[in-house]
Structure 1
């Protein structure tokens, strides 16, 4: 039999013998690669809706707005500036309060003519254009308020009717930009003025070269007015999908780290069971290199299959997250799975698998034939300090501390796994508390408590958190079972010397609670720090972060310990009830 054929047969047979472990590996890698695929596929999907919105609204190349209190006269020279082909405005801009359906929010009212404008004529998507007593609301704001044409609203206490809903490309849509925008007739706008009102003016410019808009804006921004190029507006309108993408990519790396920790525990326990098999293969002529390739191939085949499934699942799931918000029109581009995306996803799957498998596989391959065939129990490491500390503890805690000390690397992996999960739970709580407040982004009344931005980011973070919790729960079960398998002889000896099955079971659970406590304590500040990193990457460094209340963070700490105890209780009880004589005879 050729080596390759023998290798394939051995791999297939081993995967069939351990379907549960193979399925766990497959699910861990598939979840990681699916999340990473979705995050990578979301790049640039908002370009088509924004371009379409700009085309149907005759969007300006540069929008110039005076700082509050400066009159329109300061904009007089811009229509004749070099490079300007046409101008529209200036339009009076009044910031006031809007009330609708029991909600209050600050808005900008922009005075417009009833006649269409040559530059930036908002496209009405429902109802009609402005009229005396009738206003048009930007669609992102209307969607957040839940208003439709015909509804009654008030502006600064004055009643108006919603004549229509429209979109524009002259400024970023709500809630990417706040305050939201309301178009109103000039006569109605003047009714909102009083001695305490601060006004501004907006001028829309068409350039001979639209690509020169950033340079023009930089050259003409002064202390009295600021110029915004269309490229900046486009990028700001993409912030919703960008934020989703950042959360997904960061979440995929967290899933990858959790997968690495889970896989390391899985591989370690599985190779311990394969020690005698390795000895038999060496006895019939297999080389150390063949053994190492065999052990690696078992996991790489599953990882590659999971990566393919992750690519397909990510491609199917990505369109669910491509909606740039209600403020743009036109269908978003289909998410693209490029060759670089495929290479990155497969590379991550292979890297995770090799990172967790390579060292144990090499160590197992280098084991001598006689030692592998004997499969003698590994003598426990003696830790004088641990022995001295645990000697005065109750029997269950004594067993738990000594079992945890026998496998320090496994304890570290458990800490890492739970720390990542707790950190993501804290991130989800922080996102929820930050976005559910009345001033989720800038600390003022320009934002509503509930909007599409908050809902979508919260949904993505919640899905990732649930995935991490499920993987962490599975990892806790595998760590517990690996500890049970590894401690069969010590547990049997403890029972032989008088320990009850309940004490042994409690000791096995305590062995998992010992690393869970520092993981939960460290995961809370790690989650708050991770949230700040995500916000910085997403370009929201000015976001006002609302830290979850103390009771909420404390419940995460207590809930983590309770969950670990609940997950390990049944496997520990099963392992503790094995007959003592049978264990000692087989060992």
Structure 2
């Protein structure tokens, strides 16, 4: 064992450059994987991110003010409860309605100071916080409420408050937009939140205020018990509503199931690709020392000692690299500019942080150890010096095709570069190296598929079941000519009447959503990916979630109960349905009127012309229709968030680093294995420049082949993966979208160019070698 340790130490001192490269490669890959894990946690857990950054409250208690409301003296004991860590508020509140451009939304006005509170602090995403002495009464809107109203900092909104003397209308100036860990605003599911100064609330609603207080708990598991004690302190009769962090997390994080599953698959694949890349570097280093191994065998080392020596070396290098990468990420990750640094700074407070910090490096080291053990076992089989030449197999002679190409006066550099890339020293080894390089490139292509799919939620919403950009509702039953008036608005291509109701499925064990959209003569443009659109009586299309719930397929008949009436529908197609988990059946108004002749449309879905601005159309609708109307934007399935796409961009960077490590290993191994052939080419007359060009051409051709293979496989796998995950979440397969051919072509060209550039330095060194064979080269 002592001899093994001495040899391992001597070998590391002799090959310091290779050892340093192995450590840095492992450290870089581990650091990239940890940063990717931080970004994934940042993107997939939006509620936890906002909650931690804002020091959010676990419990929000909403009550009345005045004689029947909270007793101010009773609020102080809340902070003294054993379960409570901090108290946010109390904040005086008032219910109101905001309107802008024909879009209306309920708002819970909340009075706060010129400085945001320390607990449950709103996180500004745009604009500035409230400041006294401004030109007008200001308001900061919660970001989903602002997106619903299309309100941005610097704009004005109309506020309506109903008081003792009737409704009063005022104009507010939007100073900022902020995120909060409370439930998001959703039409029909409660009001949004708007923060105003106390003086502003006094002027807007002097006699219609309530109170809201937030409790930040020491242990989230004590939520139910803490709520009971708080109700006892305040009095149950004075509390209107209580919301907990579980509801907020379900409301904010419920839409990220698809993203979470895709990112989890990416994380595992990236870990595998990283282990393959680092293990490839280890195998290349062992293969490059075949001559040294043969000498060790000749002086008495047993195969077991050789195996143990290489295992000790490379496990030590892998552990050192993993420790260096982990330490660098934890210490310096927060200083990286942009979203990556923000994610790294927040990550220690996110769930699963310790498991990722320990598990990712450990898994990578174990995978590297497995690959190293196989390579070390092969090293133990290297024969002693007299037969050692077989450790470097000789290159195959030039093929008939190559000789014919030279006879046609093709460039010898191109012919010899092709031969070096795919023939010498063996086709199996060359194909294996190409496949290893293609793995991270395939994952990059899969990430681009996910990126493009997420992008179409904004750029092409019709492909994801969002053909209608706006929904118009009237306070009174719509007039007969409303559809014609709406279609006359500039930018509106079609105004489709519709109704929506809840239906019971057979067995009365669950509910689904039944929609009636359009008529048989003017149907709604459903996004049908299987079957066809409904055209005849009793025909309908269904989302994937409904098909899975009922266990039926396209072409079957289903029975459901709507308001006590049976409704039998023939499912003639499957549509992409982003709402209600895909548990939606859509038919025509004519079909529903067969069972209820008096049915009238409850809303109109507006399909806009290409290039029309939904915000401008909404304002035009409010002006063109004489009756009071409410215009709402169709909910964005991606919630308008850029964090998932930012995480995908970071994943692409991680995979690019892994691909670069694999490419450098491949080039170094190829040059070392073919050095005798290159020297022989120089001996028969090739110039140093031509020899260097052969090395660069071989690397570029290998990178080109790997890029073509990786993009082809990645495009096919990415489409299947995204569609499979979409089907599992109820959205339905058929939403995956491949990147533009120009993007894939740019990826292939970029990989080829990087391969050529990475080979320049080895090519220069090889071209400068003298026409002699060293002992290592002879072996």
Residue in structure 2 matched with residue 552 of structure 1 by the alignment = 743
Distance 1:584 1:304, change over 3 A: closer
Residue in structure 2 matched with residue 188 of structure 1 by the alignment = none
- Find 1:460's aligned residue among 624, 628, 647: 647
1-structure distance, mates of 2:773, 2:110: 91
Q: Secondary structure at the match of 1:57?
A: strand
1:517 aligns with 2:704: yes
1-structure distance, mates of 2:36, 2:24: 18
Distance 1:16 1:341, change over 3 A: same
Residue in structure 2 matched with residue 58 of structure 1 by the alignment = 61
1-structure distance, mates of 2:330, 2:696: 41
- Find 1:10's aligned residue among 7, 10, 15: 7
1-structure distance, mates of 2:277, 2:707: 17
Q: Secondary structure at the match of 1:453?
A: coil
The correspondence of residues 317-328 of structure 1 with structure 2, limited to 5 A, is: none
Q: Is the 8 A contact 1:429 1:548 kept in 2?
A: yes
Higher relative contact order (CA 8 A, sep 6+): 1
Structure with more strand by fraction: 2
Residue in structure 1 matched with residue 307 of structure 2 by the alignment = 292
- Find 1:363's aligned residue among 378, 385, 388: 378
Q: Secondary structure at the match of 1:161?
A: strand
Q: Is the 8 A contact 2:395 2:677 kept in 1?
A: no
Q: Is the 8 A contact 1:278 1:291 kept in 2?
A: yes
Q: CA deviation at 1:301?
A: 0.2
The correspondence of residues 45-444 of structure 1 with structure 2, limited to 5 A, is: 45-46=48-49, 49=52, 53=56, 55=58, 57-58=60-61, 109-110=105-106, 125=122, 127=130, 137-139=141-143, 142=146, 147=152, 151-153=155-157, 160-162=172-174, 171-172=183-184, 181=192, 231=246, 233-238=248-253, 250=265, 252-316=267-331, 334-335=349-350, 340-341=355-356, 344-371=359-386, 377-381=392-396, 387-393=399-405, 394=410, 395-403=412-420, 404-405=422-423, 406-407=425-426, 408-421=428-441, 423-424=443-444, 427-428=447-448, 431=451, 434-435=454-455, 438=458, 443=466, 444=469
Q: Is the 8 A contact 1:399 1:504 kept in 2?
A: no
Distance 1:517 1:233, change over 3 A: same
- Find 1:572's aligned residue among 763, 771, 779: 763
Distance 1:272 1:260, change over 3 A: same
Q: Secondary structure at the match of 1:578?
A: coil
- Deviation digits for residues 242-274 of structure 1 (CA, Å, limit 9, x no counterpart): 899777755554443443443344334322332
Q: CA RMSD in A?
A: 5.3
Say how many residue pairs are matched: 487
2-structure distance, mates of 1:46, 1:483: 46
1-structure distance, mates of 2:766, 2:262: 40
2-structure distance, mates of 1:113, 1:247: 38
- Find 2:659's aligned residue among 468, 472, 495: 472
1-structure distance, mates of 2:330, 2:62: 32
Q: CA deviation at 1:143?
A: 9.4
1-structure distance, mates of 2:18, 2:429: 20
Distance 1:578 1:467, change over 3 A: same
1-structure distance, mates of 2:286, 2:414: 28
Q: Secondary structure at the match of 2:61?
A: coil
Q: Secondary structure at the match of 2:759?
A: helix
Q: CA deviation at 1:560?
A: 1.9
Q: Secondary structure at the match of 1:380?
A: coil
Distance 1:493 1:143, change over 3 A: same
1-structure distance, mates of 2:327, 2:315: 18
Q: Is the 8 A contact 2:138 2:174 kept in 1?
A: yes
Residue in structure 2 matched with residue 32 of structure 1 by the alignment = 29
- Find 2:753's aligned residue among 558, 562, 585: 562
Residue in structure 2 matched with residue 72 of structure 1 by the alignment = none
Distance 1:398 1:49, change over 3 A: closer
Q: Is the 8 A contact 1:47 1:333 kept in 2?
A: no
2-structure distance, mates of 1:28, 1:249: 23
Q: Secondary structure at the match of 1:466?
A: helix
Note the residue ranges of structure 1 that are not aligned, 5 or more in a row: 61-90, 99-105, 117-122, 185-208, 212-227, 325-330
Q: Is the 8 A contact 1:50 1:169 kept in 2?
A: no
2-structure distance, mates of 1:505, 1:345: 40
- Deviation digits for residues 85-130 of structure 1 (CA, Å, limit 9, x no counterpart): xxxxxx9999x866xxxxxxx97612669999xxxxxx895559xx
Q: Is the 8 A contact 1:491 1:504 kept in 2?
A: yes
Distance 1:332 1:509, change over 3 A: closer
Q: CA deviation at 1:357?
A: 2.0
Residue in structure 1 matched with residue 695 of structure 2 by the alignment = 508
Note the residue ranges of structure 2 that are not aligned, 5 or more in a row: 64-94, 113-119, 123-128, 161-169, 196-222, 226-242, 340-345, 470-632
1-structure distance, mates of 2:363, 2:709: 26
2-structure distance, mates of 1:285, 1:166: 72
Q: Is the 8 A contact 1:179 1:447 kept in 2?
A: no
Residue in structure 2 matched with residue 219 of structure 1 by the alignment = none
2-structure distance, mates of 1:477, 1:51: 44
Give the TM-score normalised by the residue count of structure 2: 0.51
